[in-house]
Structure 1
Amino acid sequence: MWRALMYQLALIPLVQAQNDYCRTHRTFREPANTDINVYCGTNRMELHILLCPVYFGGYNETLMSLNAQYFKGECRGTPDWTVDPPILKYNFSITEEAVSACNNKIKITQEVGSGLFADFSSVQFVNISGMINSLDPSAGTITYRQEMIYKFSCRYPLQYLVNNTEMTVSGVSLAVKDSNGSFISTLSMMLYSDRFYTTQLKVPEVGLTLKTRIFVEVKATNLTGRFNVLLDRCYATTSPYPVNSTYYDLFVGCNRDGQTVMGVNGQQQEARFSFEAFRFVQHKNRTLSTFYLHCSTRLCERSVCTSLQQNCTDISSRRKREVQDTSVTDTATVSSGPIRTQVDNGDTVGIVSEVSEQLGGKHRSLQGVAIAAGIVGALCISMVAFIAYWIIVPRTIGATEKKMLFTTKE
């Protein structure tokens, strides 16, 4: 207590100078609805409140703290006088330890799915909430300062479509700010070529051979250990954007393709399964069949994950439902990237044959040119011989006739 008091006394000259700065600032007024901003990040929450209204109320940054934890340094804000208007910043990680350090509250709620998740009967949300309180330095029984309270909360849905993350004022100057956030950037999808999930799958330019087993991992990072990853549905589409695209379900709940093998799902911060490479029938006239993988993923509290998992060994308890195209949009989708497979219908041999035919055609063309050149050459020689014959023979005949004539005269 005495240490905190000495700290505040040492800050009096600095606070006085800042108070003088605020007196001439346009935000030196009573608190308003826009005095607090809440940023719900993937890994951290950040709160900004205007400083000059705090000074107007008779307080300063040393008298404002998260959830009345005035004597914890990590629960006090950091003033930023370099921006206009000046603000008081609070920044903390959303790990369970950091959230609870300043007595912020974490609450898990369960609601009926709507919007993107309209096909799901139950979707979980996590709500992180708290307040910033003012400490009245008055030592007497009464005070003329209004208490300042800034309430805030961030609400995160725990279900995403993964394809491999923003006051009201009353008599006590109460400010409330709710905002929504997303954990989607903490989720990633990776493809592997081995059952130990150590070697990343590299898709060759000529495509994967049909029935090659592909191992898939959807993983959460930078999250509190309170949540596990649970896959509801994974499917393949012919387009990277699954809206109005041909799709094939690898599994939906307990219903799964015959070649799909489920690994861990809902037990830890990564979910795994594998399937065999296939081709879409509509790609029958192509050398390669390309498709994209998507997974509907939720983060569930460990204690609740078991109840969300279905008993796939009991046929009567299996969930059978259709997932409509309307539940799949590209607004919350991350693609696995193209997966190419060879179309096993002789096209590979056809490509080689086509190249061979092209090379054979070139050889045949050369042979044709040689034959044609030979024929032309023969014709030229014949023509020369024919011309020579008609030039030489008449002369020979004429000479013979002259010789005979002279012989007769004699």
Structure 2
Amino acid sequence: MKLLLLLFQLGLILRADAQTPDACALSPTNRAPENSDISVTCGTENMDLSIYLCPIYNAFYNESLMVLNNQITNSRCYGTADFIAVPPRLRFSFPINTTSLSFCNNNFEITTQVGTGQFSDFSNVQFVNISGTVTSIDPAAGTITYRPQILYKFSCKYPMQYLLNNTNLAVSGVTLAIKDNNGTFLSTLSIQLYRDQQYQQILTIPETGLDLKTKIYVSVKATNLTKKFNVLLDRCFATTSPYPTQSTSYDLFVGCTRDAQTVVEQNGVSHTATFNFEAFRFVEHKNRTVSAFYLHCVTRLCETSTCSSLLPNCGTPRIRRKREVETVSSNATITSPIIVVGNQKTGVNNGGSYNGPLVAVIMCFAIFSALP
């Protein structure tokens, strides 16, 4: 073991003797290292670090002597030199998934904060903070050294939300570049309408529309998630347009406020959230043969150990705060296929009792039917 460590140190010393690259000779970054030399891209699939390379050479180091979180024996924790970039840069990239918990010993912390701004309707919002350092390895084997210690700190703060206008990211002490607007989880989130309480039979909507008060069931599911997170529905509402910001809308449920025919069956306890309600029509469609609308659900992730604390406490009265639909991005909202309801109830439930995905739509119609 001592021999291996000795060979490793010898390798560092040999690599450290590399000459300053030509690309740095005339570069304005050929100077002593500064805190602003690092920039961080908080992407939805990866965190990417970019560090000016010339200051590292100026301090008598090179790319082989810079490592994540002092993990000197892990080859995956070293960056890649990019001499084509102007100025030259040292790049690191690592995935934002379960491996982030242990990847090169990065710190992974979940915090809960009171919702503000875009999340002002949420009493609590959870964030994931991933942080670490890039440090220099001094190959000097003696008692003293003439090389300065280099340490760059980085962090990315991700809200565990699906529906965001722009992913709200914050980086501590460094320059921030946003690579993606929509979260990775968004691509794995789906909504499905069913006709049965077991969520087995997909709901098929006839051209003439569903009968009024047809029981329909909605399932919002996230795939490719770890057991660390569950799906939590904060709000589901219906609109007459596929775009939640461009038409009349009505909340099927938001917090403790919900339509009398809406039943939230499962929420914040697994990778799937479910609810049901009865089909209804929008009053504005009173002169039409059918009423057509869409269901939209504001969905987020919650850490399994804290999901229960994020659910609304409906045991005590509270003032409901109005959520402005304009704050929800149509590009990020999980939206159902079109839901069509006929203008009468025939007493036939299209093949059975429906407790499924059309619930949201039904709620919306029920609500608007009460409007003047």
TM-score after normalising by structure 2: 0.77
Find the counterpart in structure 2 of residue 263 from structure 1: 265
C-alpha displacement at 1:293, in angstroms?
Answer: 1.5
- d(CA) in 1 for partners of 2:323, 2:47: 35
How big is the shift at 1:3?
4.4
The answer as to 2:192 corresponding to 1:191 is yes
- 5 Å-filtered alignment, 1:355-394, equals none
| Structure 1 unmatched runs, 5+ | 169-173, 347-410
**Greater helix share, structure number:** 1
Query: Would the aligned equivalents of 1:40 and 1:182 in 2 still touch at CA under 8 Å?
Result: no
Q: 1:283 to 1:80 in 2, by over 3 A?
A: same
CA contact under 8 A between 1:43 and 1:223: conserved in structure 2? no
User: Which of residues 283, 286, 289 in structure 1 aligns to 2:288?
Assistant: 286
Q: Specify which of 241, 245, 248 is matched with residue 246 of structure 1.
A: 248
Q: RMSD in angstroms over aligned alpha carbons? A: 3.3
Is contact 1:80–1:88 with CA below 8 Å preserved after alignment?
yes
Matches of 1:318 and 1:10 in 2, distance apart? 71
User: What is the DSSP-based 3-state SS (H/G/I as helix, E as strand, rest coil) of the residue aligned with 1:330?
Assistant: coil
Give distance in 1, aligned partners of 2:293 and 2:226: 33
* Partner of residue 143 from structure 1, selected from 132, 142, 145: 145
Aligned twin of 1:117: 119
Is the 2:42–2:176 contact (alpha carbons within 8 Å) kept by the matching residues of 1?
no
Larger radius of gyration: 1
Q: Which runs of 4+ in 1 moved over 6 A?
A: 179-183
SS of the aligned residue for 1:159 comes to coil
Deviation at 1:60, TM superposition (A): 0.9
- Report Cα offsets for 1:275-299 as digits up to 9, x if no partner: 3322111111122312222222232
Show CA shifts across 1:301-360 (max 9, x none): 211112223465xxx3365524332674336642414523233259xxxxxxxxxxxxxx
Using the alignment, how far apart are the partners of 1:335 and 1:261 within structure 2?
19
- Three-state SS of the structure 2 residue aligned to 1:27 is coil
Extract unaligned runs of 5+ from structure 2: 346-372
| Aligned counterparts of 1:208 and 1:22: Cα–Cα separation in 2 | 70
Contact 2:138–2:147 (Cα < 8 Å) also in 1: yes
- Which structure is higher in RCO with an 8 Å CA cutoff and minimum separation 6? 2
1:220 deviates by 3.2
Name the amino acid aligned to 1:119. Answer: D
Partners of 1:203 and 1:339 within 8 A in 2? no
Matched, 1:152 2:154: yes
Aligned equivalent of 2:368: none
- Kindly tell me: are residues 143 and 3 of structure 1, through their superposed partners in 2, closer, same or farther at Cα, counting changes over 3 Å? closer
Distance 1:175 1:279, change over 3 A: closer
Q: Identify if the C-alpha distance between structure 1 residues 263 and 141 changes in structure 2 by more than 3 Å, giving closer, same or farther.
A: same
**Contact 1:310 1:318 (C-alpha < 8 Å) held by counterparts:** no
Amino acid at match of 1:115: G
Q: Measured at CA, do residues 274 and 68 of structure 1 come closer, stay the same or move farther in structure 2, by a change above 3 Å?
A: same
Task: Count residues in correspondence.
Answer: 334
Aligned to 1:276: 278
Distance (whole Å) between structure 1 residues aligned to residue 123 and residue 231 of structure 2: 18
SS at match of 2:21: helix
Q: 1:4 aligns with which of 8, 17, 22?
A: 8
* Aligned residues of 1:253 and 1:319 also touching (Cα < 8 A): no
Distance across 2 between alignment mates of 1:4 and 1:198: 59
Q: Distance in 2 between matches of 1:26 and 1:90?
A: 22
